[in-house]
């Protein structure tokens, strides 16, 4: 009781001035508490109260009648005394003070809360309003009034149809009605026609309940127009990005270049259709396998791969890939490293362009340039040869005239030998003249002598020209000529040069293969619109490394001093001008076969020599 009264003394407007403890000892809790709160008189004798100047009330805590008597004797008789029976009143008074204190504290906090709430409502960047159960506006904050562009007195007491004409807020009214019905906080989004523009908003509605009754609702409206526009723009950007990615995927997938992705360990992750076309592998065959398996030299690709991982990019201008059919494809390679969000290597993009055809064209260009140079030289050589040929032909003519005039004096056998010799001399002069004219074809398009001819007869004439060499080499020539081959139009002089070159090469090939009987087989057939002539020998063959190069200018497989590298190049160019072609197949050490195809119908004009077109 002492503690309760002391703690509430200010609210009760009283002051405890003395404590009389009649019990034995001086260390009772009452005395200790009295000392702690600074009471002026602490005693165990009632008579000590007489020393006090003014007392308004005595409170007795023990039921001892003699104590009341002592107090009356020591103090004025009109001093009120509250005995033990009145303790409940004192405790009730203490509780009443506590309740009053709590009410005052709650009231203060309520006022502070209301003040803060009003400040929030007025300053919040949200449109806040209050409606009654009839959905009439009772309150609007400044932000809401500014958003609507009206004064508060024009909005209070009105419904939405007065502020949002033509039912522009029906969706909001439905949510408000649902909030009043369910007594739950609800959310919604929609469009409100505000000041002639559509405003996208998000609303939060919660019921206003007092004493268990619905009094109305609060509405918080957030302007989300900017967010909506940003989301629309983001959506458009996402769509454009998606379309760009789709377009890029289609470009990469349908590109004719070889494009694939690998992980940092070098295993294939993707393989486009261009890679499938060039290399012959399907996507399922290679995805998940090491990328270096595609290379003719895996070690070189591994070095390039390591460079890309180190520097972020690597290039190789001429590398070899190997197709599924074990054919080499020359490509230039570009490797680019792509890092992940954590900065670690994620994957490598490999773009390879097949430059096999380009290199072949480059080689053809070099070859054509060399042919052009040889053609210029051949032109001068041909002119120089033609002059002595003319002299030889003239002398042969004079000999024929002398044989005609004075040959009667010679023995008939000698006259016959000289006559045949002159015929052969004229024939060889014509042949050499034809060859020199062909050499002139390197620098100008010759006027081809296109006549109707028979291929069998032409081959026989070529074999007759080489008869001496064939007999000297003891080579057997097997003629397998089709009997039903039609005549065709071409240049016999140029074709004679072709076949003489090929047969001469065959004779040389069998001569270089001692220990076996040399055999040359010449086969003629009809194939569609072409006459096909196959010349096969059982000589030394052509090394595989040289089979693709033998038609190149100056390339020869013969020993030094025996071949110039011109013959097969001239054969190739002559057939090209006549609309034909030539192919070769060979088994090194066993045989070689050249196949010549000549069209039955020649081109309207002879095709140009590649060297001339440069």
Average pLDDT of the residues in 222-237: 89
Please report, for the chain, how many H helices and E strands are present, in that order: 18, 21
Q: How confident is the model at residue 558 (pLDDT cuts 50, 70, 90)?
A: low
pLDDT mean over 168-179 = 90
Are 449 and 492 spatial neighbours (Cβ–Cβ below 8 Å)?
Answer: yes
pLDDT at 371: 61
Q: Among 331, 354, 377, identify where a domain stops.
A: 354
91 plus 130 within the same structural domain: no
CA-to-CA dists, residue 348 to 73, 261, 338, 405, angstroms:
112, 6, 6, 92
Instruction: Report whether 426 contacts 465 (CB < 8 A).
Output: no
Distances (CA, A) of 553 to 369, 536, 568: 10, 23, 8
Q: Who's near 519: CB < 8 A, 6+ residues apart? A: 475, 476, 478, 510, 537, 538
Judged by average pLDDT, the poorest of 59-68, 444-453, 553-562, 588-597 is: 553-562
Task: Note the pLDDT of residue 522.
Answer: 94
In a domain, 118, yes or no: no
pLDDT of amino acid 393? 79
* Percent of the chain with pLDDT strictly greater than 70: 90
Pair 497, 510: CB distance under 8 Å: no
Pick from 14-18, 81-85, 491-495, 571-575: least confident: 81-85
**Residue 441 sits in the same domain as residue 546:** yes
For 461, list phi and psi in degrees, rounded to 5.
-65, -40
- What pLDDT does residue 439 have? 60
Of 518, 504, 586, 496, give the one whose Cα is nearest residue 550: 586
Classify strands 41-43 and 18-20 as parallel, antiparallel or unpaired: parallel
| 207 phi and psi angles, rounded to 5 deg | -70, 150
Span 443-466, average pLDDT: 77
On whether residue 231 sits in a domain, the answer given is no
Same domain as 65, residue 214: no
Distance CA 332, CA 352 (A): 5
Task: Give pLDDT, residue 445.
Answer: 46
Instruction: Quote the domain boundaries for residue 551.
Output: 362-599
Q: Are residues 403 and 504 in the same domain?
A: yes
- Name which residue leads in pLDDT, 100 or 575: 575
Structure tokens at 590: 């066993």
pLDDT of residue 479: 93
Do 384 and 498 fall into the same domain?
Answer: yes
Tokens for 561? 């001093």
Any domain includes 101 = no
Q: Rounded to the nearest 5 degrees, what angle is found at the Cα of 133, between the Cα atoms of 179 and 174?
A: 40
Output DSSP code: residue 15.
-
User: Of 78-87, 175-184, 438-447, 466-475, where does the model show the most confidence?
Assistant: 175-184
Please report how the helices 567-577 and 492-511 are oriented relative to each other, as an axis angle in degrees rounded to 10.
150
Phi/psi for 222 (5° steps) reads: -110, 130
Who has greater pLDDT, 601 or 375?
A: 601
Q: Is residue 156 part of a domain?
A: yes
Q: What is the pLDDT of residue 466?
A: 84
The pLDDT value recorded for residue 591 is 92
**157 part of a folded domain:** yes
Sign of CA dihedral 551, 554, 560, 561: positive
Average pLDDT over residues 438-450: 55
Alpha helix segments (H runs only) across 280-406: 283-286, 298-311, 356-406
47 plus 169 within the same structural domain:
no
Q: How many structural domains comprise the chain?
A: 4
3-state secondary structure of 488: strand
pLDDT, tens digit (0-9, with 9 covering 90-100), for 316-367: 878 889 898 888 888 889 999 988 888 888 899 999 888 888 777 777 666 6
Domain-embedded: residue 414 = yes
C-beta atoms surrounding 606 within 10 Å: 21
Question: Same structural domain for residues 506 and 395?
Answer: yes
Q: How confident is the model at residue 372 (pLDDT cuts 50, 70, 90)?
A: low
CATH number at residue 480: 3.30.565.10
pLDDT in tens, 261-314: 999 998 999 899 888 988 999 989 999 999 888 888 888 788 888 999 999 999
End position of a domain, from candidates 354, 373, 403: 354
CATH number at residue 154: 3.30.450.20
**Mean pLDDT across the chain, nearest whole number?**
82
pLDDT score of 612: 38
| pLDDT tops 60 at residue 253 | yes
Q: What is the mean pLDDT of residues 233-241?
A: 88
Q: Does 444 have pLDDT greater than 60?
A: no
Across the range 41-54, mean pLDDT stands at 77
557: confidence class by pLDDT, cuts 50, 70, 90:
low
Cβ-based neighbour number of residue 420 at 10 Å:
10
- Among residues 306, 326, 354, the one where a domain terminates is 354
Res. 130: pLDDT tops 50: yes
| pTM, entire model | 0.38
Higher local confidence (pLDDT), 180 or 64: 180
Quick check: is 49 in a domain? yes
Q: Write out pLDDT tens, residues 373-431.
A: 666 676 677 767 877 877 787 888 888 888 887 877 788 888 888 888 888 888 888 77
Q: Flag whether pLDDT at 601 surpasses 80.
A: yes
Residue 369: per-residue pLDDT: 65
Q: Report pLDDT for 598.
A: 93
Q: Is there a contact between 200 and 172 (Cβ–Cβ < 8 Å)?
A: no
If asked whether residues 347 and 480 sit together in one domain, one would say no
491 and 426 both lie in a single domain: yes
Q: CA 566 to CA 371: how far, in whole Å?
A: 9
Instruction: Taking residues 534-553, report their average pLDDT.
Output: 82
Same domain flag for 336 and 375? no
Statement to judge: residues 214 and 260 lie in one domain: no
Check if the beta carbon of residue 255 is closer than 8 Å to that of residue 274: yes
**Least confident stretch, 171-185, 409-423, 442-456:** 442-456
Q: What is the dihedral of CA 404, 406, 409, 413, to 10 degrees?
A: -30
Position 241 in a domain: no
At residue 154, the pLDDT reads: 86
* Whether residues 212 and 263 fall in one domain: no
What's the pLDDT at 605?
A: 64
Task: Give percent of the chain above pLDDT 90.
Answer: 18
Average pLDDT (153-174) is: 85
Residue 599 has a pLDDT of: 92
């Amino acid at each position: 009781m002492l503690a309760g009264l002391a703690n509430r003394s200010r609210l009760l407007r009283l002051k405890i001035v003395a404590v009389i403890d009649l019990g034995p000892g001086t260390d009772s809790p009452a005395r200790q508490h009295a000392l702690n709160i600074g009471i002026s008189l602490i005693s165990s004798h009632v008579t000590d109260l007489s020393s006090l100047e003014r007392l308004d009330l005595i409170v007795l805590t023990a039921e001892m009648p003699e104590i009341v008597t002592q107090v009356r004797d020591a103090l004025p008789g009109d001093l009120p005394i509250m005995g033990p029976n009145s303790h409940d009143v004192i405790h009730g008074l203490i509780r009443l003070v506590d309740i009053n204190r709590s009410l005052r504290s709650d009231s203060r906090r309520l006022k502070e809360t209301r003040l803060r709430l009003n400040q929030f409502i007025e300053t919040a960047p949200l449109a806040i309003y209050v409606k009654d159960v009839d959905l009439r506006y009772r309150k609007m904050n400044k932000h809401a009034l500014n958003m609507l562009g009206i004064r508060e007195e024009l909005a209070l007491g009105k419904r939405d149809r007065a502020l949002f004409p033509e039912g522009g807020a029906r969706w909001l009214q439905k949510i408000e009605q649902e909030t009043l019905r369910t007594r739950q906080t609800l959310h919604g989004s929609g469009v409100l026609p505000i000041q002639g523009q559509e405003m996208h908003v998000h609303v939060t509605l919660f019921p206003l309940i007092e004493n268990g009754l619905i009094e109305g609702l609060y509405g918080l409206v957030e302007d989300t127009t900017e967010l909506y526009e940003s989301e629309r723009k983001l959506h458009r950007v996402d769509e454009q990005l998606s379309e760009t990615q789709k377009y890029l995927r289609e470009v990469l997938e349908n590109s004719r270049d070889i494009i694939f992705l690998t992980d940092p360990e070098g295993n294939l992750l993707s393989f486009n259709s261009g890679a499938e076309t060039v290399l012959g592998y399907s996507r399922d065959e290679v995805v998940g396998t090491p990328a270096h398996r595609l290379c003719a030299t895996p070690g070189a690709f591994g070095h390039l791969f390591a460079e890309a991982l180190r520097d972020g990019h690597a290039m190789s201008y001429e590398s070899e890939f190997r197709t599924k059919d074990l054919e080499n494809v020359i490509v230039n390679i570009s490797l680019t490293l792509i890092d992940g969000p954590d900065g670690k290597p994620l994957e490598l993009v490999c773009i390879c362009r097949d430059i096999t055809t380009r290199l072949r064209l480059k080689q053809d260009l070099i070859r054509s340039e060399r042919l052009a140079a040889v053609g210029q030289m051949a032109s001068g050589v041909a002119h120089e040869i033609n002059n002595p040929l003319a002299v030889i032909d003239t002398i042969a003519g004079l000999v024929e005239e002398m044989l005609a005039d004075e040959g009667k004096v010679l023995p008939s056998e000698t006259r016959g030998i000289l006559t045949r010799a002159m015929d052969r001399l004229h024939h060889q002069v014509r042949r050499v003249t034809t060859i020199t004219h062909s050499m002139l074809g390197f620098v100008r398009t010759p006027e081809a002598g296109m006549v109707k001819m028979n291929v069998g007869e032409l081959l026989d004439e070529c074999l007759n020209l080489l008869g001496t060499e064939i007999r000297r080499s003891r080579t057997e020539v097997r003629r397998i000529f089709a009997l039903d081959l039609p005549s065709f139009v071409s240049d016999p002089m140029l074709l004679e040069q072709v076949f003489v070159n090929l047969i001469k090469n065959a004779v040389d090939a069998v001569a270089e293969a001692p220990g076996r009987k040399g055999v040359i087989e010449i086969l003629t057939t009809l194939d569609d619109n072409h006459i096909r002539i196959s010349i096969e020998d059982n000589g030394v063959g052509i090394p595989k490394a040289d089979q693709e190069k033998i038609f190149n200018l100056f390339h020869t497989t013969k020993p030094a001093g025996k071949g110039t590298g011109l013959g097969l190049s001239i054969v190739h160019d002559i057939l090209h001008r006549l609309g034909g072609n030539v192919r070769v197949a060979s088994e090194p050490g066993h045989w070689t076969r050249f196949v010549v195809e000549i069209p039955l119908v020649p081109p309207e004009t002879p095709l140009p020599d590649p060297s001339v077109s440069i």
